[in-house]
Amino acid sequence: MRTVQRTLALVLTFFVAVSAAHAQAKKPEPFLIPDPARYERAVETDAEGLQQWVVFEAQRCPNCKGQKTMTCRHCERFDDGDCEDCAECHNTRKAACRICGGSGETHDILEKAPCPTCSGAAVTRCFVCNGKGSFLVEGGGDRRQKCGCCDGVGGFPCGTCKGERFVASAKLKPSVADAPSKELLKAMETLEKVIEGISGFESGGKARDDIKAVAKILGPASRYFPPLKDANKHFESSTKDQTKGAVWKHYEESVAASAGSFKWSLEYYLTHQKRVLELSLARAEHNEGIKKD
């Protein structure tokens, strides 16, 4: 009896250990997303009392810790076999870090901004198949059907950053870093209107209505923020592609989820750009005050 008890105890210990190891392996890797509203950009005061931007020195990426890669957020939620070929990592389970774009280092916020469409993923998810490229059909057993919306890819290549994961920061003359306060205030006014519009946007699950609403909100901002023009084009094209899934159940929920994901990326980019304008404006107003005196 004792032998049997010892054997059972060993077996139980083994399965507990295996289960713990499996749970640990499945534990998602932390995704550390910087708060764009808290970014800083150092300045120094010269002999005339004017503030000059300190030469930017890249730091180690706070998310990947300089490793350049991270657990793929696109297929992290999938079980083995769910996705034939992940749109982001091609089933390696490792993708370029979305925060640093795979460089392992931080970027100068005066020059680069996170992509307003993909937020560093280089692709956007197809919400009809939920990024898997295929789905099960009711009554079809275990056989998966290729998604006709994304052509089995599971997502759409980002048409805004073209795979670069970053876009240029705000466009002002001579630059967002050195523009006069008058121009920076105009850009800020435009930006705040877009932020207000996007904040109030909620998808009703109707693709055509969403396309019109987003175009109306983003249109006026392209003068200062050219990437928003491409972001609008990507949203329109990917949303239209997903209308091929209108015959499937939960289609309207898919449309709303797609619009919600796009909204999140836009809001992150807009918050980032607002912070850049705030920092540039503070410097410009300081320097203009010094020159006036």
Residue 224 lies in a domain: yes
pLDDT attached to residue 266: 98
Residue 19 lies in a domain: no
Residue 134 lies in a domain: yes
Residue 251 lies in a domain: yes
Domain that holds residue 202: 63-292
Residue 28 lies in a domain: no
The model's pTM: 0.87
Q: Which of these, 192, 189, 198, lies nearest to 264 by C-alpha position? A: 198
What are φ and ψ of residue 8, in 5° steps?
A: -60, -40
Q: What percent of the chain has pLDDT over 70?
A: 88
Peptide bond into 227 cis (omega under 30): no
pLDDT attached to residue 15: 37
Query: What number of other Cβ atoms are within 10 A of residue 285's Cβ?
Result: 15
Residue 206 lies in a domain: yes
Least confident of 138-147, 256-265, 281-290: 138-147
pLDDT attached to residue 23: 40
* pLDDT band, very low/low/confident/very high, at 143 (cuts 50, 70, 90): confident
Note whether 197 and 203 are within 8 A (CB): no
Q: Map residue 193 onto helix, strand or coil.
A: helix
Residue 188 lies in a domain: yes
State mean pLDDT over 170-182.
97
pLDDT attached to residue 123: 97
> CA 219, CA 212: separation in Å to the nearest integer?
10
Which residue spans within 102-202 are E strands per DSSP?
112-114, 123-125, 134-136, 144-146, 155-157, 166-168
Q: Which among 70-84, 208-222, 247-261 has the top mean pLDDT? A: 208-222
Q: Which residue has the higher pLDDT, 2 or 237?
A: 237
Is the sign of the CA dihedral 155, 161, 165, 169 positive or negative?
negative
State mean pLDDT over 258-268.
97
Residue 151: pLDDT above 70? yes
76-124: pLDDT as tens digits: 988 887 888 999 999 999 999 999 999 999 999 999 999 999 999 999 9
Residue 89 lies in a domain: yes
What are φ and ψ of residue 160, in 5° steps?
A: -90, -55
Number of domains in the chain: 1
